[in-house]
Structure formats: C-alpha cells, structure tokens
Amino acid sequence: MTPRLIVSDLDGTLLGSDHRLHADTIEVLRTLVSHGHQLVLASGRHYADMRVFRDQLDVPIHLISSNGAYTHDPDDQLLNANHVDPRQAAALIRLPRPDGVRLSLYMDDAWYIDAEMPSYLNMHAATGFTYQVVPPAKMPTEGIGKILYGGPPDALFKIETAIREISDGMLHVTYSTSDSLEIMAGGVNKGVALSALLKRLSIAPEDCLAFGDNLNDVEMLSLVGEPHFMLNSHPEMAGHLKTARQIGHHGEAAVAVLLRERFGL
C-alpha cells in the first residue's frame, strides 16, 4: 500500500471530549507509523501545548501550530514561522472590546492574556500549558504568531467586522470555535502550512488524509485527497467541503474508527 500522510486537528477532532487522546487513537496511530505512514498534527493550539500529545504518542510527528503560524519537525526544529505585522498587532491590541471578551497573544514561546480566565485552562489540563497575564498596555507587538479573542459569538462578530475593515487583506481571520476568533498574518492558515510541508516531504496532496471540525480547518481539508469532517463539526463545514466525508463524533474516537476501516487494521 502507498504510504500516506495523515494530518489531524486536535480539539473536536482527534481528542476526546475531555481534550485527551483516547487509548484506541494512540494504538491506531502508532500502528500506522509502524506500517510506514506519516503523521502531522495541525491545531490552533500553541506548539508547546501540542508537543505533549506528540510525546504521548511517542512516534515521529510534524506539528503545525497556531493555525499554521509555526511548523516544527519531529525533532523540534522550527521549519517555518509567520508573525503578525507589528503595526497590525498594535491596532488589534488597541481595538475596543466588551469586558466579557478576553484578548490572548500566542508568542513564539508563551501565551499572554489580558486578564485571568481560569475556565480557559480546562482544555489544557492534560498538557499543563498556561497563560501569563499581561495588561494590554504592556503587551508586545512583535513575535506574535496568533491573536485570539474569546467571548460571546455576537460580541466576536462585531470585533470580526471591525478587524476586516482595518486589516486591508493583511490578516487571516477565522474561528476555531464559535467563541474563539483567531487572527494570523495574511496568507497564514493550516492549508498553506500543510502545502509547504508536503513539498518539503515530497508528498502529493492526493496521498494525504486530513481530519477537522471547524472553520480553521477548511483550507487544510480542501487541499488533500481524502478530507474528513466530524459529526460534531461547525454547521457550515459541509457547505465549504463538497467532496469531504463526514465521519463520527470526536467523543467516540471517530478518527481512529475511520483509520481502522481505511487501512484494514
């Protein structure tokens, strides 16, 4: 069988409802690597956050983090980094927002947030990744891979509208969940990062399987030969992905189930 590259989002896709890897998922992915296939994890999470799952799987895995802002090889070598323009970053940090909306910056090696938000740490309990509180007036404007606004969807829609008016095409704006508005440099997304990695690895897109659940996965899923989206996906996913296959729920290790079927494990 032709070796394939298998790329997956994490939250809402490969991880269970507890934001952890299911035992069956670990077993299937390790088996596929032993059969000569390659793995990529592609997430909005910070690289340091994702690395814990790679280490748990204990097989070689490339990591695409912060929605494509960074790509690392299995030996932790940084292959690519894309930062938000400092002038754009400064404008976003200054952008008015309601009290209930939190502002986060994903730096090269840290997560900054404008105020305490303990509920944000629940999804990172398995990795121990945590934020540092930095007042907006003291936030840096250089070395930012991703800017994140978290809050009610109606408030985020107003912020998104304002960002699109001032960005002049210099920013990539997307959602990882309905309450998570994420901004990267223009032209930065998981699909672009995966395309560059496929060229580096000399793998054709048609030899790649991909899995995702939200709007920040659309470009990645649109690139590959075998795209899949989850039963629990954003309701607009099917409209963006005419040829993709819908599979089961992330809480039932549906990616592992599909991979067992696809590769006859």
Active site (annotated) includes residue 9? yes
**Distance linking the first and last C-alpha atoms of the chain:** 13
Which of 9, 11, 213, 217 does the annotation list as catalytic? 9
Burial 68-88 (b: 16+ CB within 10 A, else e): bbbbbeeeeeeebbbbbbeeb
Catalytic residues: 9
